[in-house]
Structure 1
Amino acid sequence: MVRGKTQMKRIENATSRQVTFSKRRNGLLKKAFELSVLCDAEVALIIFSPRGKLYEFASSSVQETIERYRRHTKSETSTTFRSVEQNVQHLKQEAANMMKKIELLEAAKRKFLGEGLGSGSIEELQRIEQQLERSLINVRARKLQVFMEQIQQLKEKEKALIDENARLSEEHGIHLQLPTKDQNETQPQYCAESSPSSDVETELFIGLPDTRTRRLSHQV
């Protein structure tokens, strides 16, 4: 069975609290002494009892250890402060550089839009013109590429529709033959005319007009 950790709290009984303080104080002073001797460490221990009585232990001198502690913490604080200050200065410098770059980019953008060109030299204007020409070439190339891709997609859709039409025609037993452009141009056009009267000529005749007249007279 695993026992949970006992929560530490203040001893309510005054006598028990005083006895516990004496035992733990003596044990803590003993451990501090052993640490200083075994590990050659500089140890300073200060204890105030509940009634304000002072108990202390120092391997050398409590006052000297306290002064050493103050110098150490002051040095660390100064080092940390300098490090933070240097970081702040570095960030400020980077922010200033970024602002300058943004201003230059904004000025260049306005010039590419045809604004603020009054103070530009002929060399600068020529550079802007060349850059715009290169940009225009890139835009046209991309536009042509997009057109070609769209045409290819339309061709693929057309092929898919033709295949689907052929499949449906085959399933339903319908044979469709679409006339080609050449067939439409070379195929002769015939026009049949009918009339209830027998006097109206319905026979197709090909030839010169005078030959047609002679043929009609022979038939009469």
Structure 2
Amino acid sequence: MVRQKIQIKKIDNLTARQVTFSKRRRGVCKKAQELFTLCDAEIALIVFSATGKLFHYSSSSMMELIERHRRQPENSSKLGQPSLQLQENNSYGVLSKMLEDKSRELRQLSGEELQELDMDELMKLEKMVQGGLNRVVETKNEIFLKEISSLKKKESKLMEENAMLKQQADFMQKSEGTGNGIHQSNPSECIRNSRGYDTSLRLGYLNVH
């Protein structure tokens, strides 16, 4: 079927007008983004719908681009070489775009803003997430094995210290057993009490007068 060319004039049907606006608006934003990517151009796009709703796209900060437009001299289009300020602004725009892309990538890795991705992009994102998850699991297992090895070393050291203490206790018990034998004293041996008096038993003949 041959596609009919739409006549460029105001669409009378309100529903058709809204549908066309939505399609054309997305197309314009897509073309603006392509122009920025291919040509490294700074772009600010502002669109108000018939109902007053605002739509915009900017390759960097919208406010900075508007302010830059206000400061732009009238004869800037006649200059053959871009100014140093323009080069700096371009570099800033590139860095801002890179930061925005990385931030969006991080949000997508966390499961946000996935509706804008197609099947190929979703599969690529899935591989990235799976690869990161595998690295996390490997690192966790390595740390887990190191902790197990450290605990085994501590256990072996405590067992050695326990065996050593047991040997010392057995040795002291044997020493006390041999040193506490019963000592039998001679009946005639002098035994002193706590006050130092002689309480020994002396045997002898009693002289009767």
TM-score w.r.t. length of structure 1:
0.37
Counting helix residues as a fraction of each chain, which structure ranks higher? 1
Bigger relative CO (Cα 8 Å, ≥ 6 apart)? 2
Higher Rg of the two aligned structures? 1
TM-score by length of 2: 0.39
